[in-house]
Chains A and B, each alone.
Chain A
C-alpha cells in the first residue's frame, strides 16, 4: 500500500439497523479509501447484505451516518446516490429483460452521474463500457436470454455506466465456475486500476482474499475485525467465527 494514505471516499459511523427487536447491523464503523477494493465477509446472517443495502440506499438505518465525500447521504434515495457517484450491482441479477444489452447500459449512461441526453452519444459511451467489461459482442442480444455469468457482467456494466466513484458489488461471483470467478476478479482489479473504488461483498472467502486490499469481517451484525487479507486470515477471532473455538486454539 502507498504510505501517503489516500483520502476516504466513504465514511460509515456507528451504523445500526434494527428489524423489530433484532439488530441486523450494530454500531458498525469503517472507512473506504480511494483506489481500494474493500471487501466484507462474514458467516450467514452476519448482516452483510443489510449493511450493503444501507450503503446503497435500499434500506434506511435506525441510527448512525454514512458520509460520501464528506456529505451525509443517509435518507438519500438510490437514484440520488447515483448522482453522488455511488452505484450498485444486485446479488440476484435484475436486467431490463426486454431491452438489449446495449439499451440496458445506455439507460444507465442517460441517467448516471454525468448524465447524457443525446441517444447517440449515450450509445457510444455504453459501447465503450461494454468493451471494458467484455460483453460488447452481445450488444444487440436481448438481456433476458443471457447466461448467468453474462448477466452478472451486465450488472457491472450497467453500474459502471453511471460513472461512479464507488462501485458496490454484491456477490458477483455467486453461481460462477472457477474460471469465470477468476475472470470476474480480474475485471474488478481492472476497474480499480482505472480509478473506481470498489466495495465488494462475497460469500466466498477465497475470492475476497484474492482480490481485496482491505477486508472487514462481520459477525452477528457487529464488526469483528478489519485489516489486510493476510492480517484477517491469521486473526484468531475470525478463525473462531468461521471454524469454531478449537480450531482457533490449535492455531
Chain B
C-alpha cells in the first residue's frame, strides 16, 4: 500500500473518532444539565442494552455464530456481582469478577456447543440457557425462584450508576471497534463467511470462536453485574429469562449486524423504545418484536445502519447526475 493511502486511512480513522467523542461528552454532561432521575434511569438501562448488543455482535455479527443464550452470561454476571457486593467487596472489583466468571462459563458452554454448526449451534444455546435458568431457579443459597437481594451499606447515588454504565458501554464499543480492524477480527470475519475456507488459510475456527464467545460473554457479564447493583434485586426469570436472550439478539439485528455501529444504534433504539412498548402493549409486545424481526430479515437485513447507508448512497448518486 502506498504511503499516501496509508496516511488517508489515518486521517479517516481520526475523523471516525470525532462523532463518538462528541457523543461521549454529551452523555457525560447531559445528566448534570437535565438532572432528571427518570431520564438518567432510562439512559442507564440503554447503556447496558448497548453493551450487551455490542457484545453479542462480536460473536453473532463478526463471527456469524447466532446464540440464543446470552442471558446465561448476563445472569451469571449479575449473580456473581451480587454475591461479591454482599460479601462487602467494592463493586468495582465485583464487575470485573462478573465479567471473568461469565467468560469462564462461556468456555464451558463453548466446548460442547461449538462442535455444532449454524442452526444446530443456535438450538444448543437455547437448551443451555434454559437449563441454567432452571438450575438457578432451584439453587437455594441464591434464593432460588424468589430471587436475591443486594444490600450495600452506602447511600444510593444514581449518577454513579449512570457513569458506570456509560463507561462500560464506551469500553464495549472500543473493544468492538478495535477487534474489527485487527488480525483477530479478520479471522472472525473469515469464519463467518466460510469456515472451511478460513481453515484452509490457517485460521483455527474452533479456538477463534471460543475466544470471540469469551470476549462477548465477559462484556455481557459485566453489564449483568452493573444492572444487579442498580436493581438491588435479581431473580432467575429476569436475568436468566429467555426474553433477555431474545432482546440481546434483537438489538444488533435491528441496528445492523456485523458492523461496529449497527449494534450501538440498535441498542440505543431498543433501550429507549422498549419500556414504552412494554407499558403500552403488555400482552403483545413480544409479538411486535417478532414481527419487527421478520420485517428486518425480509426487507433490510442490514438493519437501520444498512438502510441508512443505502439511502445515503442513493442521495449521493442523485446529486452526481
Contact = CB atoms under 8 A, between A and B. Distances in A.
A116 B186 CA distance: 12
B199 A107 contact: no
Contacts of B197: 90, 94-96
Interface in A90-109: 90, 94-99, 103, 106-108
B187 A107 contact: yes
Contact of A88 (B181, B190, B200): B200
Given A56-B200, A123-B1, A162-B201, A111 B187 contact: yes
A115 B6 CA distance: 21
Contacts of A106: 186
B164 interface: no
Contacts of A119: 181-183, 186
Given A90-B197, A107-B186, A124-B1, A112 B6 contact: no
Contact of B203 (A79, A90, A97, A113): A79
B193 A112 contact: no
B170 to A, nearest CB: 23
Contacts of B187: 107, 110-111
B196 interface: yes
Nearest to B193: A96
A98 B193 contact: yes
Interface residues of B, number: 21
Nearest to A111: B202
A75 interface: no
B133 interface: no
Interface string A112-148: 1101110110111001000000000000000000000
A103 B186 contact: yes
Given A94-B197, A96-B190, A117-B183, A111 B1 contact: no
A159 interface: yes
A216 to B, nearest CB: 23
Contact of A97 (B183, B193, B199, B205): B193
A119 B204 CA distance: 19
B201 A158 contact: yes
A82 B202 CA distance: 5
A43 B6 CA distance: 50
A127 B1 contact: yes
Given A96-B194, A96-B197, A83 B202 contact: yes
Interface in A63-83: 77-80, 82-83
B220 to A, nearest CB: 26
A95 B190 CA distance: 9
A161 interface: yes
A58 interface: yes
A115 B187 CA distance: 12
B213 interface: no
A173 interface: no
A82 to B, nearest CB: 4
A58 B196 contact: yes
B209 interface: no
B6 to A, nearest CB: 7
Interface of B: 1, 6, 181-183, 186-187, 189-190, 193-194, 196-205
5 contacts: A78-B199, A82-B202, A99-B193, A110-B186, A120-B1
**A-B pairs, 3 with minimum CB distance:** A111-B202, A82-B202, A94-B197
Given A88-B200, A95-B197, A111-B201, 15 more contacts: A56-B200, A78-B200, A80-B204, A82-B201, A94-B196, A94-B200, A96-B193, A107-B189, A108-B202, A111-B203, A112-B201, A112-B202, A113-B202, A119-B182, A162-B201
